[in-house]
Structure 1
Amino acid sequence: MKIAFIIPPCVELLDLAGPLQVFTEAKAYGLEVSLEFYSYQPENVSSAGLPMGKVLPYIEAYLQQEDFLFIPGMEFDYLNSAEFKAEVDFFSWVKACADKQVTVCSVCNAAYILGEAGLLNNRECTTHWRRVKDLQARFPQAKVIGDTLYVKQDNIYTSAGISAGIDLALSVLEDLKGAFFTHQIARGLVVYQRRSQKHKQESIYLDYRNHLNPHIHEVQDHLINNLAGDNRIENLASLVAMSPRNLSRVFKEKTGITILEYLTHLRVEKAKTFLNNPYYTVDYVAAQCGFKTARQLQKLLKAIN
């Protein structure tokens, strides 16, 4: 099996290095795979200015049904250039790979390459949240989803920006080798919080923080780090020298939700992350996240799905 990486002009380094490192680590653990590198220009320079050197032209890649083609994202200005639009032969080649049932995976705005190849027509897909509206406008037949980390439909996989490429690569690895093997790789990469397709690009750890009240920020930080602790309103209020009634009022005013709603969001998010670990039972996850019972957790997860 081959996993081929296309190195486009102005490549975003983490879009390339993240998925590549997943499979490099997997090889060290026994995954039998050949990692290959191709381009459609003789030499490339990354968006950060790092020269990439010469790699083989894409026409020398011989990919079959069991193989994967990863295309990392690139500097957005390049995608709007005449130079990019002129790469019609490359777009046709990508389409031909997909037609042969090669699994084509885009990271971040490399979804535009798939769009130019006609591979997004009538398919669900995603890209970096900054480019969701633009991708939909440029390829109106695509079904662009903005609130997900990656989408896998047929043999066309698309992921959101930057680090989401790691999530997609781990998902591919799990399809190939199973959850236990993939967990080993994630641990080796120090990626302890594996995220699934159900995770959103937005983060509960950043949401509801667009205010400047230091007391509310302190309470939010405390809740994040003490999901299973004693989070009664009296204890939270004493933490920031406010009355319980005043804390409840100010928290709702600054964040738009109640303390209990915020805490529940945090607990569910942490639980979804923990449940990706095959070693954790539902009972253990529920206890670690502050739920009274596993049934309470399962009921909440069912309600949001």
Structure 2
Amino acid sequence: MRIALLVFPGVQMLDLAGPMDVFSEANCQLGDSNAYRLVTVAPTLETITASNGMRFLPDASIADAPHDIDTLLVAGSPRISEYEENAGLIAWLVGQSRYVRRLGSVCSGAFVLARAGLLTGRRATTHWNSAARLAQNYPNVRVEPDHIFVKDGPVYTSAGVTAGMDLALALVEEDHGRGVALRVARELVMFVKRPGGQSQYSLHLAAQVTERSPLRDIQESILNDLSAELSVEVLAGRAGMSVRNFSRMFKRETGTTPGDFVEIARVQAARRILEESDTPLKKVAYLCGFSDQNGMRRAFVRRLGVTPIEYRQRFRGEVPALLETVRQAIAVT
């Protein structure tokens, strides 16, 4: 399979190097250097300077790119807006979309796919700090800002930077099975799948960047006492607002409803406890403010797609496996 990565001047180097290392390691694990044939493609065949200052020459330009591309991934760049308006590039992408088996993006590369109309009507994600802009600029895209990566048919989009490695690993698993993906993950000291598969950033960070101080105070009070009564009526009363006005302002400032914010905060707190301890599920639910263990289970399935038991087993199972791999490598050397 030929994997092409579309890059631009100012490319985020990890958006490129991360996925390439995953596919390259898959070749090693498969014992076939041609299982994935990697190629970098750029708008023009000129030396590219990445955002971190590294310089490299792409393998091909869009004018002479290979005709047998299986999977095309668009890397992100702080300068991505310059390429959204590149008519030749957009036309090339649209043409490629008719022939490639899979099309995807890493980080802000989603903006180029969206500009080409290739995300219209589809679910997609991007770096958490750019998700609101993607939703605003392309209202026909169903942006899911809290996912590490999203698959919608043959189109794949990932969150920022290192999430491109998660996406590449998922593609390896899709192509060659979980066993190969597990060996690649262990070699690169990665999770086969990040526990839960979601959550790009912490709500504590979201609270810190909220501009309006009354709402920032409310968010911090939620995070500091998750076991308290946190209904929208109670929160609106704390802010001295009507429920309607509070809900509207909260959604505008944070991008989520008060109820969703509280549930996500409780799930994130429960995740940390499940990762770090053997605390019984009933007590975890109590500590994090869920009505009961079943309420926590429903929230986990809704937010993460797994139950608390499955989450704990996945996390506690893969981490020791990775650590044991590292220990064995150290012992050999």
TM-score by length of 1: 0.69
Contact 1:208–1:256 (8 Å) recurs in 2? no
Aligned to 1:130, what secondary structure does the other structure show?
coil
1:255 — aligned with what? 224
Contact 1:149–1:197 (8 Å) recurs in 2? no
Contact 1:40–1:57 (8 Å) recurs in 2? yes
Question: How many angstroms apart in 2 are the aligned matches of 1:165 and 1:153?
Answer: 16
Change (3 A) 1:301 1:184: farther
Shift, 1:127, TM fit: 0.6
Is 1:110 aligned with 2:109? yes
Is 1:290 aligned with 2:278? yes
1:266 — aligned with what? 272
2:216 — aligned with what? none
Q: Which runs of 5+ in 1 are unaligned?
A: 211-250, 271-287
Change (3 A) 1:301 1:69: farther
Aligned to 1:135, what secondary structure does the other structure show?
helix
Question: How many angstroms apart in 2 are the aligned matches of 1:24 and 1:164?
Answer: 17
Higher helix proportion (structure 1 or 2): 2
Question: How many angstroms apart in 1 are the aligned matches of 2:121 and 2:206?
Answer: 34
Candidates 295, 300, 303, aligned match of 1:304: 300
Amino acid at match of 1:9: P
1:53 — aligned with what? 57
Shift, 1:110, TM fit: 0.4
1:175 — aligned with what? 174
Amino acid at match of 2:80: L
Shift, 1:192, TM fit: 4.1
1:21 — aligned with what? 21
Q: Which runs of 5+ in 2 are unaligned?
A: 209-219, 229-265, 286-292, 302-333
1:40 — aligned with what? 43
Change (3 A) 1:50 1:207: closer
Shift, 1:256, TM fit: 3.1
Aligned to 1:4, what secondary structure does the other structure show?
strand
1:160 — aligned with what? 159
Identity %: 28
Aligned to 1:80, what secondary structure does the other structure show?
helix
Is 1:8 aligned with 2:17? no
Shift, 1:304, TM fit: 2.2
CA deviations on 1:220-265 (whole Å, 9 max, x unpaired) are: xxxxxxxxxxxxxxxxxxxxxxxxxxxxxxx978723249x67633
Amino acid at match of 1:265: R
Shift, 1:72, TM fit: 1.0
1:72 — aligned with what? 75
1:119 — aligned with what? 118
Change (3 A) 1:132 1:54: closer
Change (3 A) 1:209 1:290: farther
Amino acid at match of 1:153: D
Contact 1:63–1:102 (8 Å) recurs in 2? no
TM-score by length of 2: 0.63
Aligned to 1:96, what secondary structure does the other structure show?
helix
Aligned to 1:290, what secondary structure does the other structure show?
coil
Change (3 A) 1:195 1:266: same
Amino acid at match of 1:104: L
Contact 1:151–1:197 (8 Å) recurs in 2? no
Shift, 1:129, TM fit: 0.8
CA deviations on 1:160-193 (whole Å, 9 max, x unpaired) are: 1011111111111111111121111011001147
Q: Pick which of 159-168 and 194-203 moved more.
A: 194-203
Amino acid at match of 1:190: V
Contact 1:149–1:196 (8 Å) recurs in 2? no
RMSD: 3.1
1:216 — aligned with what? none
Aligned to 1:60, what secondary structure does the other structure show?
coil
Question: How many angstroms apart in 2 are the aligned matches of 1:156 and 1:267?
Answer: 35
Change (3 A) 1:72 1:54: closer
Question: How many angstroms apart in 2 are the aligned matches of 1:172 and 1:9?
Answer: 26
Question: How many angstroms apart in 2 are the aligned matches of 1:35 and 1:163?
Answer: 18
Amino acid at match of 1:100: Y
Contact 1:108–1:159 (8 Å) recurs in 2? yes
Question: How many angstroms apart in 2 are the aligned matches of 1:304 and 1:156?
Answer: 26
User: What count of residue pairs does the alignment treat as equivalent?
Assistant: 239
Change (3 A) 1:258 1:120: same
Amino acid at match of 1:264: A
Question: How many angstroms apart in 1 are the aligned matches of 2:140 and 2:206?
Answer: 34
Change (3 A) 1:139 1:264: closer
Give the 5 Å matches for 1:83-232.
84-192=83-191, 194-195=193-194, 198-203=197-202
